[in-house]
Amino acid sequence: MSMQISGNYNSFNSNYAEQVKEKQVVWGEEKAKEAPKEAVQKESSRISEPVDEYVSSQKSEKEPSGLYHIGQDENGNRKIFFDNPNKANRAEPEVCVSNTNAVEREIRNLKEKQQELKQQIQSASGDEQKVKELEKKLAQVEQELSQKDNDTYRRQHTVFS
């Protein structure tokens, strides 16, 4: 469907009453009274406001914009629908899901290992060499845990799907 507005609107005044007054001044007050009604009607029809006119796409040389189409509403009545070109060009937004399960599992395992090492240190209190070994392992686990148990590490190792 295509819409065209025909006419010359370069000299169109927005106030219709002013246009009629200008035409009366041109004709003169006396001549306007003496002029036949047909001539006045012809002159006033030239002054008329612009009118939109439907031109079918077959008669029009231009391609239809495709922004409007006729369809049926929920009651089955004919209705004109507007197709927004901005919405048509936009792709559906991509939905991303973040997953920190692997990072959380890794941190949970480190905390469990830390608890086990603390229990082993308490149970091996008689053997100094074994206690030193376990404390060394515990220090490594605590260092690794301090590096991984923070928001920055979680953000860096989040999996997006």
For 6, 60, 78, 82, 113, the CA distances from 56, given in Å and listed in that order, are 14, 6, 18, 18, 79
What pLDDT score was predicted for residue 86?
67
- In 16-144, DSSP assigns E strands to 52-55, 68-72, 78-82, 98-99
Q: What is the largest CA-CA distance in the chain?
A: 132
The alpha carbon of 38 is separated from its chain's Cα centroid by a whole number of angstroms, namely: 56
Of 16, 24, 80, 8, the C-alpha closest to 49 is: 16
What pLDDT score was predicted for residue 38?
59
Instruction: Determine phi and psi for 116, rounding to 5 degrees.
Output: -60, -45
Distance CA 19, CA 23 (A): 6
What's the full length of the chain, in residues? 161
* pTM beyond 0.85, yes or no: no
Of 92, 113, 106, the C-alpha closest to 159 is: 106
pLDDT tens column, 118-160: 999 999 878 889 999 999 999 999 999 999 999 999 999 999 8
H/E element, 64: none
What pLDDT score was predicted for residue 112?
96
Spell out, as residue ranges, where the chain has pLDDT lower than 70.
1-15, 23-49, 57-58, 60-66, 85-92
